[in-house]
Structure 1
Amino acid sequence: MHLTSPWVPRLADSSASPVDRLVSALADDILEGQLDTGDRLPAHRDLADRLRIGVGTVTKAYKVLERRGLVRSVKGSGMFVALAQTRRGPLIDLSRNAPPMVMTTRLLTRTLMAIARRVDSGLFNDYPPIGGHDEHRRLLARWFAGLGMDTDPQHLLLTGGAHHSVSLALSAICNPSGTLFTEAQTYPGVIALARHQRIPIVGVPMDGEGIVPEALDQLLAVRQPGPAVLYVTPTMQNPTTATMGLVRRQDIVAVCRRHDIMIIEDDVYTLFANPELPPLAMLAPERTFYANSMSKTLNPTLRIGGLIAPATMFAQTEEALRATAIMVSPLSCAVMEQWLTDGTAETISQAIQDESKRRVALALSILGDRMQAPDQRGYHVWLPMSTHEALQLEHEAKGLGILITPPASTAANPGPSANSGVRLCLGAPPIADLRTALSSIARLQPGMPSTI
């Protein structure tokens, strides 16, 4: 005798097809814990009669749920809930875009011991100059040069990270009467900054290389009066991984010159210099704020960033820095100085690049062509899909104990978008957890292989 199903049949309240409404209703109830693993689902005919839908509709819905790993069919017995409620246990976080953890306890101990032997107590006994000590600015400028950005250290300001750098640039250029233009899908932090400063945002359509120059040109031609600025990540764009080629970079600069607007270039995902892909700040130094940091390339807790401002904007940017931060942590500066002088920074950077390459290859082997394969080294990947699919994937992944970047957090313009999708951050989790999470996400997406 078959067990009675505990599920109260219903269809989700939407204008979608009966199949989608049944899938949505059952998936929501399973993921919310209203049904437990092993609970029997209604028989096909019984469910069809109770909901007044076709048996074929029930069959299609059950197949979709089975592909997503939410239910399983037992021959001769029926359909059962298959999802283990792992959300009550440890979460696997694919929402934090941090580099792979390559710093060991031994390396940290060696660094702190070296600092202790040579530390200058004056570094900890007084405020540094606004913008940082000259030696630290020289060291960071040399690091940036190794990434392809040459600058005079006197034109560089030390900040509390790239996010702080972007905030300074935005406040120096724009105000609530201005407009921020950015990629249709962009860094969640810049969206939060613009909203905090009450600066309107305009998302510009994208293609495989990022912002489309013609679309930017058209939007700038009809922009509202007031100051305008373009925020852009030309290399390994966050979240889509798009990288601008040289011609695209030149075209974007030409459009900004034609409309006489400033540029904020976020270069935190450039892991090595590429002479064929110079920063926008090298192509248009008179109008580009260049923001970078060591937290993405070396270690997330090394909160030291640098902002290179155009000469005509340097004084007011320095004033903005004075108003928002007195100093960067002296200990962080000491660690930076030690790593940049003893070669540790290069060793860590190479280890991060190697580990990032391994993790992206793992993601590609599991997610296949549903993932947009990046052509630069990095540690986040992009799954293009409709806004509805992205929201559904976020919800279902959370039910499995997997956190992914909320799709709404990266959308410059609210609502459905042709450039929508989901960002998966590969750097933070242990490799075994990453493999588990990616395999689970593959099972949630029709057309993806469930194993590697």
Structure 2
Amino acid sequence: MSAPARYLEHVERLADAIASGELASGTRLPPQRDYADAHGLATSTVTRIYTELARRGLAVGEVGRGTFVRSPTVGAAAAFAQWAPAPGTLGGVDLAFNYPVLPEQTEALRQALREMASGGDLSALLVHSPHDGPPADRRTAAQWLSRRDSVAVSPDSLVVCAGGQHALDVLQLALCRAGEPVAVEALTYPGWKALAAMRDVPLAAVSMTADGLDPVALDKLCRHHAGRLRVVYTMPTLHNPLGGVMPLAQRRAVVEVARRHDLMIVEDSAYGFLVADAPPPLRLLAPERTFEVCSLSKPGAPGLRIAYLIAPPALLPRVHAAMRASVWSAAPLMAQLASRWLSDGTMDRWITRKRALAAQRQAIAMQCLSGLNSTGYPGAFHRLVPMPASMPALRCDDIVAALQARGVAVTPVDAFAAPGQTAPSAIRVALGSPGSDDTLRAALTQVADVVKAAGRH
């Protein structure tokens, strides 16, 4: 039997044992060398087996302790958190995802569609648009982003993508190569991790300060990889899940390291709209090497599926080629709808409302989670809840499963852990999706009850 076949045979055998309950959640898998000796495998093959189980959400590795089985249901939530529906949320309360939609947005959509149908050139929406998006939509987006940053953004540097995840996909296609490492924060976006896993792009973790990516650690990592590290992905403005906002001095230090080692920077600004007084984006500090992704899923609505990717002019041809290879161009109808809301002030009004809503829901969360040492940015749509110190590390999975049984979906923080990193034993509660404050309050009360009960046992 070939090596790939043997590797997959062991993966499937272990996956079946986990699914059937033969290997229960929390079971410690044999040390890799022991497993290799018992089955006549190379240790590197066992590493690959355990890594694939972790990628599927069926196992979790802890530095110094080993690899442990996790519940398939909880593992699925961890593996796909933030970019696919969580198991068990239908009919329950979703505290796993942040898709804040305001009540007035439905009527705004209805009105916008009426106006679009009654005027303009609808035939233009039925044909392919340029790879970087219709020129009028790029101009509108550039004007809106220029107001945001108080610095002019050229429409020629902007690409209209089919949502933030698509923009990240385009950037990995344009910038990353299989086998070449990409630097990420120790806790990073699961959607970026999933794309990298599909492309066999290894992720190299950079330790973090309280405010985000540590430039000293990034410099050390670059020296370790001696020229093979070419890209760093980061969330400097309202980090997900930690909620930090990187100060200006730290941003400048990150840029200095990037220039010293000729790194390209991918700046994910998914939650940046919630910070009214944020320092300038990394793109403004290093425009020659920074790609910024500005999604409208959170400030607008997830169904809009529009994001703006701002790229260095010299590197735009690679981005355009990746667009052509992936989706050709974003849907002209959605791009035009987004432009309408950007130009008439609707998006700005929603952002003002959502900032107020986030602050209001943080206050509710702090009240409901009192005594649990939860942490979060005052204007964010998510908060971290640490597990009681008396609990074994793996019991975080039990908390997630217990809440799922009560109809409340949350995200274990290890969903965000970069490969080889041990995440804090905590859960992330998302505050943006419940339709009312009362629904949120009831769900957070369930979270508090389950976590406190676990701490008493």
TM-score for both structures, normalised by structure 1: 0.75
Q: Is the 8 A contact 1:173 1:227 kept in 2?
A: no
| Stretch deviating more after TM superposition (314-323 or 149-158) | 149-158
| Stretch deviating more after TM superposition (115-124 or 427-436) | 115-124
Q: What is the CA distance between 1:242 and its match in structure 2?
A: 1.3
The answer to which structure has the higher helix fraction is: 2
Please say if 1:318 is aligned against 2:320: yes
Distance 1:311 1:89, change over 3 A: closer
Partner Cα separation in structure 2 for residue 203 and residue 109 of structure 1: 45
How many residues align structurally? 367
Q: What is the CA distance between 1:342 and its match in structure 2?
A: 2.3
Q: Is the 8 A contact 1:205 1:215 kept in 2?
A: yes
Opposite residue 396 of structure 1, the aligned amino acid is A
Q: What is the CA distance between 1:138 and its match in structure 2?
A: 0.9
Partner Cα separation in structure 1 for residue 244 and residue 276 of structure 2: 15
Q: What is the CA distance between 1:414 and its match in structure 2?
A: 4.5
Secondary structure in 2 matching 1:314: helix
Name the residue aligned to 2:247.
245
Q: Is the 8 A contact 1:178 1:225 kept in 2?
A: no
Distance 1:88 1:141, change over 3 A: closer
Q: What is the CA distance between 1:263 and its match in structure 2?
A: 0.6
Opposite residue 97 of structure 1, the aligned amino acid is N
Name the residue aligned to 2:132.
131
Name the residue aligned to 1:374.
377
Distance 1:162 1:89, change over 3 A: closer
Please say if 1:412 is aligned against 2:418: yes
Distance 1:230 1:384, change over 3 A: farther
Larger Rg: 1
Instruction: Give a deviation string over 1:334-379, Cα, whole Å, max 9, x none.
Output: 311221232222222222222122111111111236221304x231
Distance 1:223 1:13, change over 3 A: closer
| Stretch deviating more after TM superposition (132-141 or 94-103) | 94-103
Q: What is the CA distance between 1:154 and its match in structure 2?
A: 0.5
Distance 1:213 1:122, change over 3 A: same
Distance 1:124 1:14, change over 3 A: closer
Q: Runs of 5+ in structure 1 lacking a partner?
A: 1-11, 16-86
Please say if 1:395 is aligned against 2:398: no
Q: What is the CA distance between 1:255 and its match in structure 2?
A: 1.6
Distance 1:13 1:343, change over 3 A: closer
Partner Cα separation in structure 1 for residue 208 and residue 229 of structure 2: 23
Please say if 1:305 is aligned against 2:311: no
TM-score for both structures, normalised by structure 2: 0.74
Distance 1:448 1:430, change over 3 A: farther
Name the residue aligned to 1:56.
none
Distance 1:153 1:13, change over 3 A: closer
Q: Is the 8 A contact 1:262 1:288 kept in 2?
A: yes
Q: Is the 8 A contact 1:390 1:407 kept in 2?
A: no
Name the residue aligned to 1:235.
237
Opposite residue 229 of structure 1, the aligned amino acid is V
Secondary structure in 2 matching 1:286: coil
Q: Is the 8 A contact 1:177 1:226 kept in 2?
A: no
Name the residue aligned to 1:122.
123
Opposite residue 131 of structure 1, the aligned amino acid is D
Q: What is the CA distance between 1:177 and its match in structure 2?
A: 2.9
| Pairing partner for 1:438 from 429, 432, 444 | 444
Name the residue aligned to 2:97.
96
Name the residue aligned to 2:204.
202
Name the residue aligned to 1:60.
none
| Pairing partner for 1:383 from 357, 382, 385 | 385
Q: What is the CA distance between 1:105 and its match in structure 2?
A: 3.6
Q: What is the CA distance between 1:88 and its match in structure 2?
A: 11
Q: What is the CA distance between 1:199 and its match in structure 2?
A: 0.4
Distance 1:330 1:311, change over 3 A: closer
Partner Cα separation in structure 1 for residue 275 and residue 344 of structure 2: 20
Partner Cα separation in structure 2 for residue 98 and residue 448 of structure 1: 29
Partner Cα separation in structure 2 for residue 395 and residue 416 of structure 1: 20
Name the residue aligned to 1:426.
431
Partner Cα separation in structure 1 for residue 195 and residue 416 of structure 2: 13
Partner Cα separation in structure 1 for residue 441 and residue 126 of structure 2: 47
Please say if 1:262 is aligned against 2:264: yes
Q: Runs of 5+ in structure 2 lacking a partner?
A: 1-24, 29-87
Q: Is the 8 A contact 1:102 1:352 kept in 2?
A: no
Q: What is the CA distance between 1:302 and its match in structure 2?
A: 0.9
Distance 1:187 1:162, change over 3 A: same
| Stretch deviating more after TM superposition (147-156 or 432-441) | 147-156
Instruction: Give a deviation string over 1:147-198, Cα, whole Å, max 9, x none.
Output: 3264211010111111111121222221013111111111110000110111
Please say if 1:284 is aligned against 2:286: yes
| Pairing partner for 1:354 from 353, 356, 360 | 356
Q: Is the 8 A contact 1:407 1:421 kept in 2?
A: yes
Partner Cα separation in structure 1 for residue 26 and residue 454 of structure 2: 28
Instruction: Give a deviation string over 1:287-334, Cα, whole Å, max 9, x none.
Output: 111111111111111111111111221111111111111221222123
Opposite residue 422 of structure 2, the aligned amino acid is P
Distance 1:328 1:249, change over 3 A: same
Partner Cα separation in structure 2 for residue 267 and residue 104 of structure 1: 22
Q: Is the 8 A contact 1:146 1:273 kept in 2?
A: no
